[in-house]
Amino acid sequence: MSRAVALQEKFANRYPRESCGIGMVHLGIGAFHRAHQAWYTDKLLSLYPGNWTISGISLRSPNVRDQLAPQDGFYTLVENDRSGQRMEVIGAVREVLCAPESPAAVLNRLCHPETKIVSLTVTEKGYCHDPATGRLNQKHPQVIADLKNTNQPSSALGYLCEALYRRWKQDLGPFSIVSCDNLPSNGKVLRGLLIEFAKLRDAELADWIDERVTCPSSMVDRIVPATTEKDRQNVQKQLGLEDQGVVVTEGFSQWVLEDNFCAGRPAWEDVGVTMVNDVTPFEHMKLRMLNGTHSTLAYLGFMAGHEFVADAANDSDFQQLLLGMWQDEIIPTLSMPSGIDLQSYAHDLMARYQNPELHHRLYQIAMDGSQKLPQRLLGTLRDHLAANRLPKRILLAIAGWMRYVTGIQENGNSFEVQDPLTPKLQQLAQESGFLNGQLNSEKTSEYVNQLLQIEEIFGRDLANHTIFSQQLTSVLQELTENGVRSVLRQTVIA
Ligand code: CS2
């Protein structure tokens, strides 16, 4: 029996999939999308079968297409937590295209009259922007290339702009664009970038986008570790079928979405999505409380020798660090609509991190820190600096990142730092003499100051904040001299 047929049998005709047209295109069809938006949409189609199935686009590698095409887009979603394991075959993804191989097919799908919503998970770096300001990086090689070869784009912005250009010219009407990446005001930022990009091509197109296209902001949340061979074998054992597209996640899921769609939308509110007028407080809550502490665990936990989030979150020194961060440093910066209890949110986060059934690598989260730091940690930091306070745990987290990007572990082993700025970061570590020969505070201070000069991460203000940079230097010096564990004990106890 083919993979497609076996999965279709398990899908058990929960809805008449063949007659549900494709109404959404998703750029960046990785594991997160399949555990989140596609899962919500699958529940929706079970309730109301309609034209909201998904065309998933891989912007880079053919892997997901190669996994899903032979199975007609079906895949198993495994939910793992303390209450047990659940498996479900998801049918919401009807087609998967690999953009570098077939840009014309992707553009045709985006320009299809039935395409009403385009969503994205292209990670922070996929926006070709300056994370500190949210503006387009006009020197980005993909931006330059996509403005030249408009029919063969490579970036999300390039595809969106060309598709909207054609829709404008052919009078096909706009689609809504939903960013599902962990960026603050993701819809607003994306809209600004798209208009900036379009202006470089055709000012009238930019005006049309401005008038007709909406980009609702969204807060998305579900922890989705990278799938392993063991996960696939587990599905094979439990369901008796081969599935190359398995995705493993936790039981928890949240999606808060701004209700601003220019071409209609599915009734996602009926399957647990929260539709609101303003996503901002929810974004701040999630980016600072979840992603901020996730990155903290990633840098410090990894340096201390932990492999998985659950290992670090079950280590009492790290637990104390997180509890202190939430209570004293993050929660006081948030202001939430009534009914949102940040104490219980923090409590639930700890339980999610400690989930022993989820094997979420710290190394996976540590990736692309230069793109993540501003929204995860630096906003909280700035709020404290403005009130003349130095949040010691946030400082420790930033120092942890500075230590991490040297690519050398505490035991002296080197590892690969995955970040678009890696060459620059490691050059600075070399040039400043940090980690070369005898460590001294002058070299550390030089290294810290050089890093703080990277405007796309730290903006213009932080390098000039003397008390902050001095304190950061001394934390980094201690971290390097005495190791994470020792600093953690001092910071946590003090
Ligand atoms: C993580 C996120 O890899 C990372 O940077 O912090 O992917 C995190 O797991 C999700 O945002 C949870 O919703």
Q: pLDDT by residue (tens digit) across 255-287?
A: 999 999 999 999 999 999 999 999 999 999 999
CA of 375 to the centre of ligand 1 (A): 13
Ramachandran bin of 339, using left for φ above 0, alpha for ψ from -120 to 50, beta for the remaining angles = left
Cβ of 221 closer than 6 Å to ligand 1, yes or no, is yes
Residue nearest to atom 10 of ligand 1 (CA): 223
Which residue is listed with tokens 């996960």? 231
Output the pLDDT for position 258: 98
Nearest CA to ligand 1 atom 4: 365
Number of H helices, E strands in the chain: 25, 13
| 280 CA to centre of ligand 1 in angstroms | 18
What are the structural domains, with CATH classification, of the chain?
A: 3-276 (3.40.50.720), 280-492 (1.10.1040.10)
Measured distance CA(64)–CA(76) in Å, rounded:
14
Confidence at residue 440, expressed as pLDDT on a 0 to 100 scale: 85
- The span from the CA of 144 to the CA of 361, in Å, is 35
Q: Are 40 and 249 in contact (CB under 8 A)?
A: no
3-state secondary structure at position 57: strand
Burial 283-311 (b: 16+ CB within 10 A, else e): bbbbbbbbbbbbbbbbbbbbbbebebbbb
Distance 295 CA to ligand 1 centre (A): 9
Beta strands 218-221; 135-136: pairing state: unpaired
Q: Which two tokens stand for residue 66?
A: 């190669």
Q: Which residues of the chain have pLDDT under 70?
A: 494
Position 444 scores a pLDDT of 95
Best residue among 121, 181, 223 to mutate for probing ligand 1, ranked by most atoms within 8 Å of CB: 223
Q: Cβ(223) to ligand 1 under 6 A?
A: yes
pLDDT at 494: 63
- Tell me, in angstroms, the distance from the centre of ligand 1 to residue 385's CA: 26
Report whether residue 274 contacts ligand 1, using a CB cutoff of 6 Å: no
Q: Which atom of ligand 1 is nearest to the CA of 222?
A: 13
Q: What separation in angstroms does the CA of 311 have from each of 123, 154, 173, 454? A: 25, 38, 50, 32
Q: Ligand 1 centre and the CA of 5: distance in Å? A: 33
Give 421: exposed, middle or buried? Use CB within 10 Å, 0-12, 13-18, 19+. Answer: buried
Kindly state if the Cβ of 65 falls inside 6 Å of ligand 1: no
Q: How far, in Å, from the CA of 148 to the mean position of ligand 1?
A: 34
pLDDT (0 to 100) of residue 491: 83
* Whether the CB of 358 sits within 6 Å of ligand 1: no
The encoded tokens of residue 200 equal 């470089």
CA–centroid distance, 250 to ligand 1, in Å, is: 12
